[in-house]
């Protein structure tokens, strides 16, 4: 019995090691071995099964090719083809290492259809082995030295993979080019190629046919390609591309790309239709999704507006114009470009005047520059251009240095943001004319500002005298206002406010739970409403910082006499917020109504509003993911209190990022209840003809039909959630193809790329699991149907629970189909009002129809 057990053990060990050796050998071919096509063909497989190498037929073709494709995913995209120009007509192909040490592919007649074509430096080629790596690189090497002799990465076809080295030699002009397939099912070399231009500062160029430029990336500045303005915003690119320095012994330098997340499968491909795409594998959708594509717009087409012309994507097809100082050669024919109106001084051989430079900002720099890497001072760069009569422009770019253009300026493009500054050389008269126009405009504006300032000063002095004359509340004996001075003790204040009613334009407002302060006391606290104490200004009016005699800091919201917001909102805020007590709601300390003055007194929030940090690039990094998630939870708890746990059931109706204030410890406080509404215990929905709120935050049913409920606030919270995660305003993508932040978030969500929505400033350090959960919850909150949105109790549970099951959201079509904003006339008749508020301020604005 023991004998059989030992025999069984030995047999198991033998089978294990045999199978292990077999699996290890599945990615290599040694001298004397081969890979054969046919019915029993088994491809070579990389160690982690990421890539496979073998024989395939594209589409319905019967031709056979040796290629490399992805191995462990459903869509096995081909990334490299050996015999792309010489297909084998049947399944007789054989791959092996020949006697001279080359890797060769033979057909059924033993004719070599493809070879690595290297010269052997040794007579002993028996120690050579070829293997497929997990990077997708197919490498021929020597077993004793493990030194690569030949590798597929040095002989690419149409696909650039991470860790591939793209060689370019500025001295010889030699470079690696990626050549497209001829068609979707024909791997033979096509009509388009992509590579690094060896002349000037390195840049990626897409060529058509015999080196006709179709698109270029702009110059490499050691961090990004300057002609791709949004590249600096994408951490997937930033720090991914690298250029080796210094050059190797042959004078070559190499571009490489290593993604921030090595587990992501991605590839850059030149398509047969003349575009370059970055494709990423979406594990959720089980398919490749397009991350970016070039050329992406009409203006991306190479030199669309001709020499000295500039393309601007203000229109759907791009708008061409001549740069200042130039005129069109042939009207309507932009292929001929523009020509200089006034010759330069050196061209006219005169001694009077000097050539000047006009600066174009946020542009894609022209092609065919001459880099002067040693010049890093702006004046030196400018002087270098002036000394050469052929110089048409210069630019100084960090990471490159000074660049000079002695030829025609071609392929210029105007960006909305990003890009570089280009200094155009012009005759003095051209710059002088432009300067005179600018000076005239500036003078006119300054005169207007001064006149308005004088008028405002006179008006302020008049109003101040009027305010001071009636500042003491005790003199106003005709009103029914009983006022508690700020300097009183809590006991005294409570005694006064316990049964006080104030009359606001004939409407009684009970302040039994709210102190009423005198105008004189507030004026003292705010240093007579001095300009230095003003914290901001909104639709309600200015907000001032004040300090009580006991040292407490306050914020005073003062209703402007010309404010679009009426007494209804003022009264509403007094009634509602006085009854609310929650750590995530701003605390109302009291109010003042005296003469024409109407004021609300709040606790002071030293860190202002959330948008102060969220949308300022210099401050975004101060609110890391841990703090942002804490703010998200705080806002959610505050809303849940309003909807369910407070004495009154309240719909806020104007939740937005500027209405979330931050205290000294960065705790969020929901503010501005001027538009809030109280719901009855059994009331689930209400209708209004007076639609109030902020563009981008209003739910579809509210904006178009006037219907509102707790689900209206849920929708606003979803938008707010996307803003906090992304660091982008909900209106920032209005002019993009997605139309809004919601549309962009949905696009990324459905393509399995939600992590790209996370603010780049915190993407590396944030909790990916929490961030993705927040985006998923936000998508549930912004669904078109109010019934399908979760309530705030469910939202909070989903945010804070790792085990909660999240439903699949439906596509939010409301925002994506109405790109710019809700039309104020939409679904409203002439008797209705549409009231909006700006997210740039912390108060609401009322605009009547």
The confidence score (pLDDT) of residue 360 equals 96
**Catalytic site residue 134?**
no
* CA distance readout (Å), 546 to 528, 532, 535: 10, 11, 10
Helices 768-781 + 741-750 axis angle, to 10: 120
Concatenate the DSSP letters of all residues of 651-690 into one string: E-S---GGGEEE-TT--EEE---TT-EEE-TT---EE-SE
Share the mean pLDDT of the chain: 81
Where residue 653 falls among pLDDT bands split at 50, 70, 90? Answer: confident
Cα distance between residue 137 and residue 153, in whole Å: 6
Where residue 512 falls among pLDDT bands split at 50, 70, 90? Answer: low
Whether the Cβ atoms of residue 265 and residue 279 lie closer than 8 Å to each other:
no
* Interval 603-650: pLDDT, tens: 999 888 999 899 888 888 889 999 999 999 999 999 999 998 887 788
Q: What are phi and psi of 356, to 5 degrees?
A: -120, 175
- Name which of 559, 568, 617, 565 is nearest 592 in CA terms: 559
pLDDT at 373 over 90: no
Is 373 exposed, middle or buried (CB count within 10 Å of its CB: 0-12, 13-18, 19+)? exposed
The confidence score (pLDDT) of residue 635 equals 97
pLDDT at 206 over 70: yes
Computed over its alpha carbons, how large is the radius of gyration of the chain? 35
- Name which of 835, 208, 291 is nearest 572 in CA terms: 835
516 or 152, which is more confident? 152
**Which two tokens mark 444?**
């006119």
Averaged pLDDT for residues 727-755: 86
Residue 838's CB: how many other CB atoms inside 10 A? 15
Three-state DSSP at 183 gives strand
**Which two tokens mark 371?**
């880099």
Averaged pLDDT for residues 718-747: 87
Q: Residue 25: which residues within 8 A CB-CB, separation 6 or more?
A: none
Query: Alpha helices of 470-541 — where are they, by DSSP H?
Result: 490-497, 519-525
Please enumerate, by residue number, every residue annotated as part of a binding site for ATP: 535-543, 557
168 or 494, which is more confident? 168
The confidence score (pLDDT) of residue 316 equals 62
User: Please, what are the domains in the chain?
Assistant: 1-154 (2.90.10.10), 156-283+291-296 (2.90.10), 299-426 (no CATH), 480-603 (3.30.200.20), 610-836 (1.10.510.10)
* Interval 417-462: pLDDT, tens: 788 999 999 998 888 655 555 666 677 778 778 888 787 777 766 6
Residues of the chain with pLDDT > 70: what percent?
A: 79
pLDDT at 845 over 70: no
Is 444 exposed, middle or buried (CB count within 10 Å of its CB: 0-12, 13-18, 19+)? exposed
Where residue 51 falls among pLDDT bands split at 50, 70, 90? Answer: very high
Please enumerate, by residue number, every residue annotated as part of a binding site: 535-543, 557
Whether the Cβ atoms of residue 731 and residue 821 lie closer than 8 Å to each other:
yes
Averaged pLDDT for residues 498-521: 59
* Interval 61-89: pLDDT, tens: 999 999 999 999 999 999 999 999 999 99
pTM: predicted TM-score of the whole model, two decimal places: 0.55
Averaged pLDDT for residues 750-777: 91
The confidence score (pLDDT) of residue 210 equals 82
12 or 186, which is more confident? 186
Whether the Cβ atoms of residue 219 and residue 369 lie closer than 8 Å to each other:
yes
The confidence score (pLDDT) of residue 291 equals 82
DSSP-derived pairing of the beta strands 212-216 and 203-208: antiparallel
Where residue 539 falls among pLDDT bands split at 50, 70, 90? Answer: low
pLDDT at 165 over 60: yes
Task: Name the catalytic one among 611, 654, 672, 759.
Answer: 654
pLDDT at 471 over 50: no
Where residue 775 falls among pLDDT bands split at 50, 70, 90? Answer: very high
The confidence score (pLDDT) of residue 816 equals 38
pLDDT at 166 over 70: yes
């Amino acid at each position: 019995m023991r004998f059989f057990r030992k025999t069984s053990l030995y047999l198991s060990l033998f089978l294990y090691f045999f199978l292990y050796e077999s699996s290890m050998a599945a990615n290599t071919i040694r001298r004397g071995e081969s890979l054969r096509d046919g019915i029993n063909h088994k491809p070579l497989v990389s160690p982690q099964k990421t890539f496979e190498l073998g024989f395939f037929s594209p589409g319905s073709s019967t031709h056979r090719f040796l290629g490399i494709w992805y191995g462990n995913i459903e869509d096995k995209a081909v990334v490299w083809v050996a015999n792309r120009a010489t297909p084998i007509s049947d399944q007789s192909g054989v791959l092996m290492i020949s006697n001279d040490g080359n890797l060769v592919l033979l057909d059924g007649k033993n004719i070599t259809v493809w070879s690595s074509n290297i010269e052997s430096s040794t007579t002993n080629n028996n120690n050579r082995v070829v293997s497929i790596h997990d990077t997708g690189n197919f490498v021929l090497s020597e077993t004793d030295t493990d030194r690569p002799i030949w590798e597929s990465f040095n002989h690419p076809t149409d696909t650039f993979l991470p860790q591939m080295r793209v060689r370019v030699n500025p001295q010889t002009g030699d470079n690696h080019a990626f050549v497209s397939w001829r068609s979707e099912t024909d791997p033979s070399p096509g009509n388009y190629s992509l590579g690094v231009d060896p002349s000037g500062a390195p840049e990626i160029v897409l060529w058509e046919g015999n080196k006709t430029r179709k698109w270029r990336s702009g110059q490499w500045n050691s961090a990004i390609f300057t002609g791709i303005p949004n590249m600096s915003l994408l951490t997937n690119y930033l720090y991914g591309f690298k250029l080796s320095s210094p050059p190797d012994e042959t004078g070559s330098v190499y571009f490489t790309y290593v993604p921030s997340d090595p587990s992501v499968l991605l590839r850059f491909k030149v398509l047969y239709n003349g575009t370059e795409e970055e494709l990423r594998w979406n594990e959720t959708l089980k398919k490749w999704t397009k991350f970016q594509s070039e050329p992406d717009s009409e203006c991306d087409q190479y030199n669309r507006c001709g020499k000295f012309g500039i393309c601007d994507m203000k229109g759907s097809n791009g708008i061409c114009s001549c740069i200042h100082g130039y005129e069109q050669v042939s009207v309507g024919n932009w292929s001929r470009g523009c020509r200089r109106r006034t010759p330069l001084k050196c061209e006219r051989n005169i001694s009077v005047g000097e050539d000047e430079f006009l600066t174009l900002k946020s542009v894609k720099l022209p092609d065919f520059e001459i880099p002067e890497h040693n010049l890093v001072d702006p004046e030196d760069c400018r002087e270098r251009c002036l000394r050469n009569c052929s110089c048409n422009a210069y630019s100084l770019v960090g990471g490159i240095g000074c660049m000079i253009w002695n030829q025609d300026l071609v392929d210029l493009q105007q960006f909305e943001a990003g890009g570089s500054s280009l200094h155009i050389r012009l005759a003095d008269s051209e710059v002088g004319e432009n300067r005179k126009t600018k000076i005239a405009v500036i003078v006119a504006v300054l005169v207007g500002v001064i006149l308005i300032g004088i008028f405002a000063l006179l008006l302020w002095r008049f109003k101040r005298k009027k305010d001071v004359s009636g500042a003491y509340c005790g003199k106003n004996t005709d009103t029914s206002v009983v006022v508690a001075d700020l300097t009183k003790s809590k006991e005294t204040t409570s005694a006064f406010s316990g049964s006080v009613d104030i009359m606001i334009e004939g409407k009684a407002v009970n302040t039994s739970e709210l102190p009423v302060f005198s105008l004189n006391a507030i004026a003292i606290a705010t240093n007579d409403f001095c300009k230095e104490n003003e914290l901001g200004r909104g639709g309600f009016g200015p907000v001032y910082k004040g300090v009580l005699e006991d040292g407490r800091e306050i914020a005073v919201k003062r209703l402007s006499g010309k404010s679009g917001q009426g007494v209804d909102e003022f009264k509403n805020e007094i009634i509602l917020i006085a009854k609310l007590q929650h750590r995530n709601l701003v605390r109302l300390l009291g109010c003042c109504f005296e003469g024409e003055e109407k004021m609300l007194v709040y606790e002071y929030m030293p860190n202002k509003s959330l948008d102060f940090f969220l949308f300022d690039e210099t401050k975004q990094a101060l609110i890391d993911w841990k703090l942002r998630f804490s703010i998200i939870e705080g806002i959610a708890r505050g809303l849940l209190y309003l909807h369910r746990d407070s004495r009154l059931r309240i719909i806020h109706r104007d939740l937005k990022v500027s209405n979330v204030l931050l205290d000294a410890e960065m705790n969020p406080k929901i503010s501005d209840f001027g538009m809030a509404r109280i719901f009855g215990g059994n009331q689930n929905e209400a209708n209004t003809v007076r639609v109030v709120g902020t563009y981008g935050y209003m739910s579809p049913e509210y904006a178009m039909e006037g219907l509102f409920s707790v689900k209206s606030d849920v929708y606003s919270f979803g938008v707010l959630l996307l803003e906090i995660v992304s660091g982008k305003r909900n209106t920032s993508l209005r002019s993009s193809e997605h139309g809004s932040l919601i549309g962009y978030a949905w696009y990324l969500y459905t393509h399995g790329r939600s992590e790209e929505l996370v603010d780049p400033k915190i993407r590396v350090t944030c909790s990916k699991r929490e961030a993705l959960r927040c985006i998923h919850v936000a998508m549930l909150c912004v669904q078109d149907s109010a019934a399908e949105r979760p309530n705030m109790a469910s939202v909070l549970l989903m945010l804070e629970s790792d085990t909660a099951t999240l439903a699949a959201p439906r596509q939010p079509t409301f925002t994506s189909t109405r790109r710019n904003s809700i039309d104020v006339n939409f679904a409203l008749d002439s008797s209705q009002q549409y009231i909006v508020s700006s997210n740039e301020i912390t108060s609401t604005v009322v605009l009547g129809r």
